[in-house]
């Protein structure tokens, strides 16, 4: 490795080439629990596309793998290092290059944090709709690489709906520009969407052109309390069948409600089996839209339905949902002696009319494998996140957790669903992706990978 480090320092300067052991340790992995991670040889922080080209070329000469990373908030191991790799940390490429209110686009570098972009475009009366739960820390580059979702997907869709164009450094060191700035554009293959969700396996994204939307109108929020998760799932199906389009429709089960209330007390109904959090951002029509949502929830068996009394209470409810992941992390840590509890987070999406069956099936799986499973997710688009709680210090607990994870994956696919709604594939779901897309799909994936990264150095072992 000394020759590799010397070449990187000669090209980029000492400040961009980092080898401190503590820093290397901190860049080994993302937030996916129980996914393997190696120790990188070096962390490099480029500041320009030219820097990224240089890193790719140096790594190729030394035949060393390159693992791109953003804020490492992912939940599938896609950013995990492999031993001896160059970790390419994109966080220093964090410029918002342009906000164009006429054409409603923004051009950003990959290290821009989602919340920073939201704040910048809000000054122009615009918004960038994708809002992953980690939006205050996750980067746009990471969001694009994993095709991230969020709580507003039910109405506004996932990241790919907003990516108009990219600049990408390929595994050959060549720089490719895809897409356009125009509102319409259908010329040639859609290479932009090819790279969205590719998790750094096809190229390193260095610039992103995103579509913006007008700022949302005033929003109103309601909460519906249900006697079971399946009843809440049936309400979601009825909301969709009734032609209603909430801007947010989230589900939290009893385990999550208790975990959130313990993490940050705010008076949540911890006796409820399930809670639906819904919002309508339709301004003067919001009250009527919310009333229709309330009617459907009541008819579907809700024990109680109540609306937030003001914007402060509505924001508190939204914040409660955003706290689900850290609250469950603490719940898991405290569930076993020595803080050894961990989470295996599933990410399965099914058709809306299969949501109740998924929730019922997940409850049965928790009993069958004797593991605690809390369920939270974006009910409005059928995307659930069963959180499987395991004892890291107990091999039997880990095995039961992995078997429960696989059983939920199997259930989701059997219901016509997909193995990943928004967290990507990474290391966690490679085998399940292969099952989902079949042998022909795997061959096509591999052919694309071979064409764009012929040496196989970009984020090896992920996705395929």
pLDDT on residue 95 = 98
Q: Which residues contact 363 (CB under 8 A, 6 or more apart)?
A: 229, 230, 373
> Do the first three CATH levels of 2-89 and 96-214 match, i.e. the same topology?
no
Instruction: Tell me the CATH number for domain 220-414.
Output: 3.40.462.10
pLDDT on residue 427 = 96
Query: Cα angle at 443 between 439 and 448, to 5 degrees?
Result: 150
In DSSP terms, which residues pair with 345 in a beta bridge?
A: 387
- Containing 34, the helix (H) or strand (E) segment is none
pLDDT on residue 1 = 76
pTM (two decimals): 0.94
pLDDT on residue 54 = 98
Q: Does domain 96-214 have CATH number 3.40.50.10490?
A: no
Q: Residues of the chain whose pLDDT is less than 70?
A: none
Please give the class, per CATH, of domain 2-89.
alpha beta
In DSSP terms, which residues pair with 418 in a beta bridge?
A: 349
pLDDT on residue 326 = 94
pLDDT on residue 341 = 94
Domain ranges of the chain: 2-89, 96-214, 220-414
pLDDT on residue 350 = 97
φ, ψ of residue 125 to 5 degrees: the values are 70, 25
3-state SS, residue 224: strand
d(CA 382, CA 403): 22
If you count them, how many residues does the chain have? 464
């Amino acid at each position: 490795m000394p020759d590799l480090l010397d070449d990187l320092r000669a090209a980029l300067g000492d400040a961009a080439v980092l080898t401190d052991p503590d820093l290397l340790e901190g860049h080994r992995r993302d937030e996916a629990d129980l996914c393997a991670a190696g120790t990188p040889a070096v962390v490099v922080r480029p500041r320009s596309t030219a820097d990224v080209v240089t890193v790719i070329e140096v790594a190729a000469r030394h035949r060393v793998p390159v693992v791109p990373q953003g804020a490492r908030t992912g939940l599938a191991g896609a950013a995990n290092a492999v031993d001896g790799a160059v970790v390419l940390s994109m966080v220093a490429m964090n410029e918002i290059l342009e906000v164009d209110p006429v054409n409603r686009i923004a051009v950003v570098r990959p290290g821009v944090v989602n919340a920073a972009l939201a704040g910048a475009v809000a000054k122009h009366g615009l918004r960038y709709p994708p809002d992953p739960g980690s939006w205050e820390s996750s980067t746009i580059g990471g969001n694009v690489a994993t095709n991230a979702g969020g709580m507003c997907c039910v109405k506004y869709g996932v990241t790919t709906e907003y990516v108009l164009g990219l600049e990408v450094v390929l595994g050959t060191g060549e720089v490719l520009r895809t897409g356009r700035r125009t509102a319409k554009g259908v010329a040639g293959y859609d290479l932009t969407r090819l790279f969205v969700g590719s998790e750094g396996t096809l190229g390193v994204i260095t610039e992103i052109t995103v579509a913006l939307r007008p700022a949302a109108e005033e929003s109103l929020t309601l909460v519906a309390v249900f006697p079971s998760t399946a009843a809440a799932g049936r309400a979601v199906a009825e909301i969709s069948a009734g032609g209603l389009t909430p801007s947010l429709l989230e589900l939290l089960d009893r385990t999550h409600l208790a975990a959130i209330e313990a993490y940050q007390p705010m008076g949540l109904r911890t006796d409820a089996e399930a809670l639906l959090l819904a919002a309508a951002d339709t301004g003067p029509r919001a009250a009527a839209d919310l009333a229709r949502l309330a009617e459907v929830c009541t008819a579907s068996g809700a024990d109680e339905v109540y609306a937030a009394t003001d914007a402060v209470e509505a924001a508190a409810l939204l914040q409660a949902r955003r706290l689900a992941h850290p609250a469950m992390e603490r719940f898991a840590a405290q569930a076993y002696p020595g803080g050894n509890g961990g989470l295996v987070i599933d990410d399965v999406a099914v058709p809306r009319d299969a949501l109740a069956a998924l929730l019922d099936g997940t409850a049965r799986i928790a009993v069958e494998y004797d593991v605690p499973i809390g369920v939270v997710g974006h009910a409005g688009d059928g995307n659930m996140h069963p959180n499987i709680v395991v004892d890291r210090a107990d091999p039997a607990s880990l095995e039961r957790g992995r078997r429960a994870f696989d059983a939920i994956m199997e259930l989701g696919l059997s219901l016509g669903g997909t193995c990943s709604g928004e967290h990507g594939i990474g290391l966690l779901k490679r085998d399940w992706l292969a099952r989902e897309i079949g042998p022909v799909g795997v061959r096509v994936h591999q052919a694309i990978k071979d064409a764009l990264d012929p040496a196989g150095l970009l984020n090896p072992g992920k996705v395929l």
